[in-house]
Amino acid sequence: MTRKLFGTDGVRGRANQFPMTAEMALKLGAAAGRYFRRDGSPDHRVVIGKDTRLSGYMLENALTAGLTSTGMNVLLLGPVPTPAVGYLTKSMRADLGVMISASHNPHQDNGIKFFGPDGFKLSDEAEIEIERMVEGEIRLAQAENIGRAKRIDDAQGRYQEFIKTTFPSGLRLDGLKVVIDCANGAAYKAAPEVLWELGADVIPLGVSPNGKNINDRCGSTHPEAAARAVFEQGADVGICLDGDADRVIILDQYGRVADGDQLMALLAARWADDGRLKGGALVATVMSNLGLERHMQSRGLRLERTSVGDRYVVERMREGGFNLGGEQSGHIVMTDYATTGDGLLAGLQFLAEMARSGQPADELVNQFETVPQLLKNVRFGAGSKPLEVGSVKSVIAEAEARLNGKGRLLIRKSGTEPLIRVMAECEDEVMLTEVVDGIVAAVQAVAV
Distance, C-alpha 163 to centroid of its chain: 17
User: Does the annotation mark 103 as catalytic?
Assistant: yes
Angle at 444 between CA 439 and CA 448, to 5 degrees: 145
Strands 373-379 and 419-426: antiparallel
Who contacts 29 (Cβ-Cβ below 8 Å, separation ≥6)?
Answer: 62, 63, 64, 65, 66, 67, 69, 70, 98
CA-CA distance, 406 to 420, in Å (whole number)? 23
HSE of 36 in the Cβ direction (CA atoms, 13 Å)?
30
Alpha-carbon Rg for the chain, nearest whole angstrom, is 22
Residue 418 has phi, psi (to 5 degrees) of: -75, 70
Q: 151-188 burial, b if ≥16 CB within 10 A, otherwise e?
A: ebeebbebbbebbeebbeeebebeebbbbbbbbbbbbb
**From 55, 69, 101, 103, the catalytic residue:** 103
Using omega within 30 degrees of 0 as the cis cutoff, is the peptide bond preceding 79 cis?
no
**Enzyme catalytic residues:** 103
